[in-house]
Structure 1
């Protein structure tokens, strides 16, 4: 079975408020790498002409734009984080750079959210490809991988991750996030 595999690096900052990782309660950052594996939804042998599952540019273009333009250098916060209130009051113009998650923005959660977002992009593009797996390398020694239906694993089934737009939260209107 042929798969398309591509990677993208991005910088991020987050904080985790649950007591599971108290040292991560202070905002801090990582340079992460996301790797995706895609497979044709209707696999077929190579055709003897173009000989490809899908052109890489088509398969990864929108995804890489989302990572580069929206996720890179975004602050990841839980929807319950009091810092969101601070940004609403003090710096509302920065809300479009805050990736908001249902609960702590852990790497495990991000894998599922990213898989759902990429799935939405692929579905809107005709559904010729599907996400087989997605992994995020948080540090050179810590990587989280995900395979399956992300909606089965997410604590909330609805949100920006279900839309094939450039959004990273539900605070800013999706059309504003596209700008």
Structure 2
């Protein structure tokens, strides 16, 4: 089976309040790499003409735009993090730069959320491709790979990750919300 594979690097900051690590409870950042693998929903042999599953530019266009304009340099916080109250009160204009997660924004959770978001983008673009896997490299020695239905793994079924728009939370409407 043919797969389309592409990568994107992004900078991020987060904090983990529930994992028991004081070091991770302080906001800190990583430069991460996300790798996605896509498969055709109706696989067929190469046709002897164009010989491609899907043009790369079309397959990765919306995804790369979302990573580059919404995820890159976003602050990742749990929906229950007290910092969200602070941003609402003190810097509401920055809310569209906060990626809000159901629980601690771990790499495991992000893999599932990203798989769901990418699946929403692909479905909205005609459903010719489906997510085979998403892998996030948090550090050069730690990564998480997810394959399967992300909704079976996520602690919440509904949220920004189900919409094929540029959102990264449900508390602010980004300036470029339309997909």
User: Following the alignment from structure 2 to structure 1, what is the Cα–Cα distance between the partners of residues 64 and 176?
Assistant: 16
User: Following the alignment from structure 1 to structure 2, what is the Cα–Cα distance between the partners of residues 126 and 19?
Assistant: 39
Instruction: Report the equivalent of 1:29.
Output: 29
Deviation digits for residues 32-78 of structure 1, max 9, x if unmatched? 00000000000001011100000000000000000000000000000
Instruction: Give the superposition deviation at 1:23.
Output: 1.3
Contact between 2:96 and 2:173, CA under 8 Å: does it hold in 1? no
What's the Cα RMSD here?
1.0
Contact between 1:96 and 1:177, CA under 8 Å: does it hold in 2? no
Instruction: Give the superposition deviation at 1:177.
Output: 4.6
Contact between 1:74 and 1:97, CA under 8 Å: does it hold in 2? yes
User: Following the alignment from structure 1 to structure 2, what is the Cα–Cα distance between the partners of residues 162 and 58?
Assistant: 20
Instruction: Report the equivalent of 1:103.
Output: 103
Deviation digits for residues 88-121 of structure 1, max 9, x if unmatched? 0000000000000000000000000000000000
Instruction: Report the equivalent of 1:122.
Output: 122
Contact between 1:78 and 1:100, CA under 8 Å: does it hold in 2? yes
Q: Gapped runs of 5+ residues in structure 2?
A: none
Moved over 2 A (4+): 19-22, 176-179
Contact between 1:76 and 1:101, CA under 8 Å: does it hold in 2? yes
Q: Say yes or no: does 1:68 pair with 2:80.
A: no
Q: Gapped runs of 5+ residues in structure 1?
A: none
Contact between 2:113 and 2:154, CA under 8 Å: does it hold in 1? yes
Helix, strand or coil: the match of 2:145? strand
Deviation digits for residues 121-164 of structure 1, max 9, x if unmatched? 00000000000000000000000000000000000000000000
Instruction: Give the superposition deviation at 1:19.
Output: 3.7
User: Following the alignment from structure 1 to structure 2, what is the Cα–Cα distance between the partners of residues 91 and 103?
Assistant: 22
User: Following the alignment from structure 1 to structure 2, what is the Cα–Cα distance between the partners of residues 19 and 55?
Assistant: 41
Contact between 2:32 and 2:138, CA under 8 Å: does it hold in 1? yes
Q: Number of residue pairs matched?
A: 178
